[in-house]
Structure 1
Amino acid sequence: MKDEEDDNIIPNDDENNSEENQLDDNQDGDDSEEIISVNAKNFEGQHFYENQEEEGEDVITKVTGMYKDWFLDYASYVILERAVPAIEDGFKPVQRRIMHSLKELDDGRYNKVANVVGHTMQYHPHGDASIGDAMVQIGQKDLLIDCQGNWGNILTGDGAAASRYIEARLSKFALEVLYSPKITDWGVSYDGRRAEPNNLPVKFPLLLAQGAEGIAVGLSTKVLPHNFNELIDASIKILKGKPFTLYPDFMTQGIADVSNYNDGLRGGRVRVRAKIAQLDKNTLVITQIPFSTNTTTLIDSILKANDKGKIKIKKIEDNTAADVEILIHLFPGVSPDKTIDALFAFTACETSVAPLGCVIEDNKPLFIGVSEMLRISTHRTEDLLRQELEIQLEELKNKWHFSTLEKIFIREEMYIDFKLYSDRESLYKYLYDRFEPFKKSFVREINDDDLQRLTQIPMIRITRFDSDKADDFISKLEDEMKEVEHHLANLTDFAIAYFTKLKEKYGKGRERQTELRVFDNVEATKVVLRNTKLYVNREEGFVGTSLKKDEYLTDCSDIDDVIVFLRDGKMLVTKVDAKTFVGKDIIHVAIFDKSDKRTIYNMMYRDGKSGPSYIKRFNVSGVTRDKPYDLTNETAGSQVVYFSHNPNGEAEVITILLRQVGTIKKLKFDIDFAKLAIKGRASKGNLVTKYPIKKIELKEKGISTLLPRKVWFDDTVKRLNVDARGELLGEFKPSDKILVISQSGKLKVIIPELSTHFDEDMIVLEKFNPKKPISAIYYDGEKERYYLKRFLVETDKEESFITDHPNSQLEIVSTDYRPVAQLIFAKVKGVQKEDLHIDVEDFIAVKGFKALGNQLTTDKLKQVNLLDPLPYEEPVEEVPEKPELDEDDSVETELDDDGQIGLVLD
């Protein structure tokens, strides 16, 4: 960078050294044109003026060359001196200068931030505002600066008070880790008046602990903050040669999905969510917010989504102080689970952060991952420790050397003959000769400086010299030298001990703030609030939200799709709009969900104007929007004669009446859709009859013909799914439900909806069996006794089955038929009572939900455990057989050669 700066200075002519012919380094690009004069052309080797032309007394300078050189200089300056941190110490220049100024001002007391800013301006050639802002950012990270006063709030986004009202001093951690003047790489300040550090000797991965963000010319950097203790643990693993992983940690807490972190390199992405819980059925509470947001921006995004109709909230309260608390009140009937998902989908409750690891190394930008950053920092720390030890050893040797000289000098009474020598040279020759017999015992050669110090020893010190104390002091120095030499010989172990000491000293209270979890993907169409109404004009073939005079269909949102079926057998999926023509003679319209595989359509159609009739069952999943699909055999004149939409795969029984044609004897028969296989929408279907149909009647509403749906629980995302991820809960029919029990002693029975959110303290999640008793041992805070109760669930509502006292707590809960509990008693006065095993079924009968239960013991318990349950054979429920149809109502069918259902005609 020095070479680039030299190119921008006009060299002085030998005959003219005036300042008028120089271009000031500190002038901005816009002002530089004013400095250019006609005389500047006389200077040799200047690329600024190669494109100049003279027209009379005026000089025309072409911009091409100026832009090329000045822009590159500007870009280099911003990258190296403003926006991107150095890999050596993790600081940007302004941050490094602030920390240097704080050290110069440090006397253990607080300093006004305004004073620190002014002091920093001696090193930083920019305004006080940028220095003050940078200092506040360092202080808010609560690591290097001990702050006093109102420094703002990262949770609410409130700014700090004016710099004249707040104070700062270096933290103990900063004093221990950042500074070591003897090994600091020093340079000269911008005006040449003072010395400033080129890099501070930071013995800690500070860049990764604090994070960094900056936008330069042509590049940017975004290094996410990481956990203090985890960085130290990873550094120790590096020194031991063990593998490690690093993931970001944010002061705003929240929940993060780092599965695509990519080691902090370009292309990686971290998804961060707020922590949202259900306070009650009409209230949500946000207790943690995502990184890069604050409560103000978060609330603004929620209100904006509400105004757009994406979510529906009654009101929002911000009670944030030291901790985040945002209450979201919902209207009655609004689903809390869907609202939580909608908050993630449409507001800043979920944000995506793209890391980009860019640092400065050897005056060049370098793109590396966080693992490599930590390796560089760890090995640099090890090297800095080596330099400090070497300097310490050298200082100890010098102390030992002079102490030994002093002892010999006084013991041999060399000072007595000083009066015989009138000049320094002769005196030094005398001392060199006297020390010659002891030369082999010294760690280095004696020099004139040593002799100078000896000659300046006060006489009072000589007369009071204690040889024993001198020997003890020299022995102590020798022990210290051996210790330092041992550390140098075992430098890696010394560095590990250094990091371990840092963690013990400063790691308390710096545990991980952000919970790591894998997120599920929230589909916007499933959680968006249906805030508008959909209408249909069946005859004219229009569907839309503006047809308010026509038939109301359902509520919808502006991002929904609708599926339309026409009488001629055509099907179309299109986006919700104000008014859309889909085709005349509409027989069915509904909101379309492409992931719905349980909705089955039962259809019968006539092939052509007078052809045979076919019957089919099908599901619609993957389609192309606005593309018409023909569900018939694509014969002209085909028409749908029967159609039903079945959300759970129901299969009804229909009665078909034929027209009297020829010698047909049986004009009436039944068709059961349950006997048909579910095929693709493009299938031709099974043949019903070759004769014309007069009428079709619904004889019996159907039940679901689909197999019970298997539901799994994925503990990593805390959500239900049907994709075989996690633990299988069971096979669920439409009437089946799930039992949820939490550690707080509450239980509820819910429908297994995939959008359901589960609390962090959930301890039981299983398929609900209403005949299966629940056994629980709990501590009653009011009576200070342990109780055992056994009950059946009596309601679907969430209720607590332990007492309401604040000290009451649930010990164990079991849903086994015959559980066995183990009571481990606390030792009282040195006496240990034997453990007690309890057969819960024998101990207590099944009682009501509100019953207190039976008292277990009056003795103090240390622990309560569940053992393996006793064997129990669960009764199998008999499934009643479906009653057979009367002979008059049934139809005899057989399969044709092509696998179709054909009628058996007499």
Structure 2
Amino acid sequence: MEESTHHEESLKKVSGLYKDWFLDYASYVILDRAIPSIFDGFKPVQRRIMHSMRELEDGRYNKVANVVGNTMKYHPHGDASITDAMVQLGQKELLIDTQGNWGNIYTGDSAAAARYIEARLTPFALDVVFNPKTTQWTKSYDGRNNEPIDLPVKFPLLLAQGVEGIGVGLSTKIMPHNFNELITASILHLKGKKFELFPDFLTEGMLDVTNYNDGKRGGKIRARARITQKDKHTLTITELPFSKNTGDLIDSIIKANERGKIKIKKIEDNTSDLVEINIHLHPDVSPDKTIDALYAFTDCEVPISPNACVIVGDKPMFLSVSDILKHNTDHTVSLLKKELEIELHELQENWHFSSLERIFIENRIYHDIEEVKSWEDVIKTIDEGLKPHTKHLLRAVTEEDILRLTEIRIKRISRFDLDKFKENIIALEGKIEQVKHHLANLIAYAIDYYTNIQKKYGKGKERKTELRIFDTIDASKVAVANEKFYVNWEEGFIGTSLKKDEFLFDCSDIDDIITFQKDGTMKVVKVEGKTFIGKNIVHVAIWKKNDKRTVYNSIYREGREGPYYMKRFSVTGVTRNTDYKLASDKKGSEMLYFSANPNGEAEVVSVLLKPNARVRKNKIDIDFSEIAIKGRDSKGNLVTKYAVKKVDLKEEGVSTLAPRKIWFDDSVRRLNADGRGTLLGSFKGDDRILTINSQGEAKLVSFDLMNRFDDEYLILEKWKPEQAITCIYFDGEKDKYFVKRFLLEATPNIQSFFNNENPKSFLEFVTTEVGAIAELVFPKIKDKQKDPETVDLDEFITVKGIKAIGNQLTKDKVKNINITIPEPPEIIEEEPEMEETSDEDLDDDGGTIGSLFDEENN
């Protein structure tokens, strides 16, 4: 019994040991390795590196290997880990002035060996990171050296540099922010005003911070590379998304191409000091669609989840970016206060001793000790001699003060200049008053401190990453058709593996396929190798969610001997792998006629009836344009109660859909049909959008919602072919202004309307409106001022060809040109007919997330 009890107790002790050991290990990793301090923004190894560099600082570069070796005396980090940490600090271009090959943040190339590269502290680091007088110290691991607990950093360094770290059970991921914006936010906080902070990356790129959530856990941002169209068949990546280098990007693009998600010809990496990745496309590939596909299927767009975890008072805490900045700013104020208090004490001590020295020399107290023999009597004699003159001093005279007086050299006494002493004391009093004023107005002093830091070091640290709202890319719309799709009509199979059967079309592996059967059953399925649909398939096609432009026309029989109905409907949303009865649930129902119309076409068909004594007319012509487009569940219109022999196509149809209203959303630089942004107008058929940029280049593009408009345009509107374009441009070669009016040709090519090759040439003004008036203002020449002239541009020149030079606007020098354009009349466009639907929305899991809208049967 006693042996059993002893055994249980020993087990408990071992269990307790494991628990304590794990807690000790977790605390060590979190506090001493992975998570930064909120006060100085450094992890322990970074702090030791900075302290070591300050210790070695002499204005010259030090070998990184020497810094690493010196750092190891404070803690036995491995030399490789110290080197890696130092290189990361150096690549952030804020605290360390680097020399040699420190790697490349664009290409991901590693730095040279520590013995080859050199470093020293930047002036910014020397200004804001160190102050031995306000630093709290602790013993190093072996007790031989002192190291800082926290460096007295007077700047939100943690947010400026950003940090990543993985501890035991938690991690941190704080994004880097812009130097100048952090200072502005600190000043706003000191003034009691609100501020917002968003990340900024050295790799530039674009960033959507809609869900940043102030950097707290649960937030999310999206970073994108900047992709531009170099020419018709070449795309260029010039900026990278955060956390990715050119190697990562190229690998992801190659993999997407191999998987068939995108289609590229070849890729070239010309990156050196600037990023340049050229992506060459095949002639039949759309550049706009490829850009979207790169964002959808490669690392050209990356989601990032911030997680601001920091050490506050020996405990990890999850804070927001705003909270961290407030902590840093308040801590900076406390450090500035401490520095001022130390400075005030030093000035007062200096004033105190200078006053004692003046009393000692001016009143010749040093003569009183000439005959004194013992040291104790010397101290006593000086003390007695000072007493009548020390009532105005800030504190009592101490023995230490008297000892300093005895150390004054005879040479200094002999050269004593009362006026200089007075000037020195007055200067000290002025400095004391100034420091007291700063302490009394500490917030204003802190604001001035931040302002001076920005003036000294803010130049060249402007925002690099563009903030903008990204459009949500539908992957199914931009995926390359990388699969060939087949059908076996007789056996009822469809898929990509039926290569012996009939080929239908190319599709992507993430498309949805819609099928219709002769009994009126509709089903939507994913692209797979082989899928059984059912016998008597009549139609197979790629299906797009929310497609209201594709309209299906059908004539069906209800049951085996029921009446015949006709209907028009669109399919905007369904649940995958679900059978929908579009004809009737009655057994024996059958579709006699079916057509799928991509733009709402309505044909004319002839219905031939079986011979019947009751029927006078055996042939009925049906025009589908006379039938309203309704929901897929509607019964439709009655055709006949009598038996139908067959249905024949009589006449091809034209679109019955109203023109499509298109808007331009400037925040995402994309077109939409959802009413977001500026209405461009109603579009149909071959309608085009006109864009004109500041280089004098006009381009006509389709109103396809997949088109991109990432560039800045002076004009972006619906093109009216008969409407002339009016422009004023300056010809750099002739040093004159010209006016021209012209019409564009209906071509997709870029059309330049003035010679912009001369660097002095520029586009002054361009419009598609009529009635533009130009007021010419002239400079004063030899005290003579010419009155302004007014020019009606429509009357000044007739419409000519796009290649015409135009008419010279004036022979005189022009100071500036003021343009006025009359308000155009408001155009009220007709509302398109609403299309009734009876659909359910489809989510990615095949679940129904919509609601059913029933139609009345006709």
TM-score, normalising length from structure 1? 0.89
Q: Is residue 2:772 matched to residue 1:811?
A: no
Q: Quick one: which amino acid aligns to residue 812 of structure 1?
A: F
Find the counterpart in structure 1 of residue 721 from structure 2: 770
Q: Is residue 2:415 matched to residue 1:464?
A: yes
Shift in CA distance, 531/366, structure 1 to aligned 2, threshold 3 Å: same
Cα distance, 1:871 vs. partner?
A: 6.9
Find the counterpart in structure 1 of residue 286 from structure 2: 335
Which residue, 830, 835, 838 being the options, matches 2:791?
Answer: 838
Unaligned runs of 5+ in 1: 1-48, 54-59, 878-897, 902-906
Find the counterpart in structure 2 of residue 221 from structure 1: 172
Find the counterpart in structure 1 of residue 753 from structure 2: 801
Shift in CA distance, 832/387, structure 1 to aligned 2, threshold 3 Å: farther
List per-residue Cα deviations over 1:498-520 (Å, max 9, x = no partner). Answer: 00000011000000000000111
Q: Contact (CA 8 Å) 1:78, 1:217: kept in 2 or not?
A: yes
Q: Contact (CA 8 Å) 1:708, 1:733: kept in 2 or not?
A: yes
Find the counterpart in structure 1 of residue 115 from structure 2: 164
CA distance in 1, matches of 2:7, 2:790: 98
Which residue, 175, 188, 193 being the options, matches 1:242?
Answer: 193
List per-residue Cα deviations over 1:131-184 (Å, max 9, x = no partner). Answer: 000000000000001101111110110111111111000000000000111110
Cα distance, 1:439 vs. partner?
A: 2.5
CA distance in 1, matches of 2:544, 2:417: 96
- The 3-state SS of whatever aligns with 2:211 is coil
CA distance in 2, matches of 1:834, 1:343: 57
Cα distance, 1:525 vs. partner?
A: 0.4
Find the counterpart in structure 2 of residue 715 from structure 1: 666
Q: Quick one: which amino acid aligns to residue 119 of structure 1?
A: N
- The 3-state SS of whatever aligns with 1:259 is strand
Q: Is residue 2:37 matched to residue 1:86?
A: yes
Q: Quick one: which amino acid aligns to residue 837 of structure 1?
A: T
Cα distance, 1:275 vs. partner?
A: 0.5
List per-residue Cα deviations over 1:433-461 (Å, max 9, x = no partner). Answer: 22222222101111011111111111111
CA distance in 1, matches of 2:779, 2:472: 48
List per-residue Cα deviations over 1:634-684 (Å, max 9, x = no partner). Answer: 111111011111111111222222222123112223222122121111111
- The 3-state SS of whatever aligns with 1:778 is strand
Shift in CA distance, 280/395, structure 1 to aligned 2, threshold 3 Å: same
Find the counterpart in structure 2 of residue 682 from structure 1: 633
Q: Contact (CA 8 Å) 1:298, 1:347: kept in 2 or not?
A: yes
- Residues 570-585 of structure 1: matches in 2 within 5 Å? 570-585=521-536
CA distance in 1, matches of 2:778, 2:828: 37
CA distance in 2, matches of 1:472, 1:316: 74
Q: Contact (CA 8 Å) 2:769, 2:821: kept in 1 or not?
A: no
Find the counterpart in structure 2 of residue 230 from structure 1: 181
Q: Is residue 2:260 matched to residue 1:322?
A: no
Find the counterpart in structure 2 of residue 21 from structure 1: none
Which residue, 200, 207, 214 being the options, matches 1:256?
Answer: 207
CA distance in 2, matches of 1:529, 1:417: 103
Q: Quick one: which amino acid aligns to residue 27 of structure 2?
A: S
Q: Quick one: which amino acid aligns to residue 237 of structure 2?
A: I
Shift in CA distance, 364/301, structure 1 to aligned 2, threshold 3 Å: same
Shift in CA distance, 875/246, structure 1 to aligned 2, threshold 3 Å: closer
Q: Is residue 2:329 matched to residue 1:393?
A: no
CA distance in 2, matches of 1:827, 1:284: 49
- The 3-state SS of whatever aligns with 1:441 is coil
Q: Is residue 2:775 matched to residue 1:822?
A: yes
CA distance in 2, matches of 1:154, 1:416: 72
List per-residue Cα deviations over 1:91-116 (Å, max 9, x = no partner). Answer: 00000000000000000000000000
Which residue, 832, 849, 863 being the options, matches 2:816?
Answer: 863
Which residue, 790, 798, 801 being the options, matches 1:848?
Answer: 801
Find the counterpart in structure 1 of residue 445 from structure 2: 494
Q: What CA RMSD, in Å, does the superposition of the two structures yield over aligned residues?
A: 2.0
CA distance in 2, matches of 1:50, 1:81: 37
CA distance in 2, matches of 1:245, 1:141: 22
CA distance in 2, matches of 1:311, 1:406: 85
- Residues 555-570 of structure 1: matches in 2 within 5 Å? 555-570=506-521
CA distance in 1, matches of 2:746, 2:674: 30
Cα distance, 1:829 vs. partner?
A: 5.2
Shift in CA distance, 415/862, structure 1 to aligned 2, threshold 3 Å: same
The alignment covers a number of residue pairs equal to 827
Cα distance, 1:280 vs. partner?
A: 1.0
- The 3-state SS of whatever aligns with 1:591 is strand
Shift in CA distance, 702/494, structure 1 to aligned 2, threshold 3 Å: same
Q: Is residue 2:220 matched to residue 1:269?
A: yes
Q: Contact (CA 8 Å) 1:812, 1:864: kept in 2 or not?
A: no
Q: Is residue 2:81 matched to residue 1:125?
A: no
List per-residue Cα deviations over 1:462-487 (Å, max 9, x = no partner). Answer: 01100000000100111111111100
Shift in CA distance, 192/50, structure 1 to aligned 2, threshold 3 Å: farther
User: Once the two structures are aligned, what percentage of the paired residues are identical?
Assistant: 59
Shift in CA distance, 161/701, structure 1 to aligned 2, threshold 3 Å: same
- The 3-state SS of whatever aligns with 1:440 is coil
CA distance in 2, matches of 1:436, 1:509: 60
Q: Quick one: which amino acid aligns to residue 798 of structure 1?
A: I
Q: Contact (CA 8 Å) 2:661, 2:683: kept in 1 or not?
A: yes
Shift in CA distance, 699/452, structure 1 to aligned 2, threshold 3 Å: same
Q: Contact (CA 8 Å) 2:368, 2:381: kept in 1 or not?
A: no
Deviates more, 1:85-94 or 1:551-560: 551-560
Deviates more, 1:340-349 or 1:68-77: 68-77
CA distance in 2, matches of 1:432, 1:804: 88
CA distance in 1, matches of 2:236, 2:782: 47
Q: Contact (CA 8 Å) 2:695, 2:756: kept in 1 or not?
A: no
Which residue, 90, 107, 121 being the options, matches 1:139?
Answer: 90
Cα distance, 1:731 vs. partner?
A: 1.1
TM-score, normalising length from structure 2? 0.94
Cα distance, 1:632 vs. partner?
A: 1.2
List per-residue Cα deviations over 1:343-379 (Å, max 9, x = no partner). Answer: 0000000001110000001111011000000000001
CA distance in 1, matches of 2:103, 2:237: 21
Q: Is residue 2:248 matched to residue 1:286?
A: no
Cα distance, 1:52 vs. partner?
A: 8.6
Q: Contact (CA 8 Å) 2:196, 2:322: kept in 1 or not?
A: yes
Q: Quick one: which amino acid aligns to residue 649 of structure 1?
A: G
Shift in CA distance, 192/558, structure 1 to aligned 2, threshold 3 Å: same
Shift in CA distance, 309/652, structure 1 to aligned 2, threshold 3 Å: same
Q: Quick one: which amino acid aligns to residue 590 of structure 1?
A: A
Cα distance, 1:858 vs. partner?
A: 3.5
Cα distance, 1:276 vs. partner?
A: 0.5
CA distance in 1, matches of 2:397, 2:207: 64
Q: Quick one: which amino acid aligns to residue 131 of structure 2?
A: S
CA distance in 1, matches of 2:551, 2:417: 105
CA distance in 1, matches of 2:15, 2:166: 26
Find the counterpart in structure 1 of residue 47 from structure 2: 96
Cα distance, 1:866 vs. partner?
A: 2.8
Q: Contact (CA 8 Å) 1:123, 1:196: kept in 2 or not?
A: yes
Which residue, 674, 698, 703 being the options, matches 2:654?
Answer: 703
CA distance in 1, matches of 2:524, 2:577: 6
Q: Quick one: which amino acid aligns to residue 456 of structure 1?
A: E
Which residue, 571, 578, 585 being the options, matches 1:627?
Answer: 578
Q: Is residue 2:415 matched to residue 1:473?
A: no
CA distance in 2, matches of 1:586, 1:62: 74
Find the counterpart in structure 2 of residue 788 from structure 1: 739
Q: Quick one: which amino acid aligns to residue 23 of structure 2?
A: L
Cα distance, 1:717 vs. partner?
A: 0.4
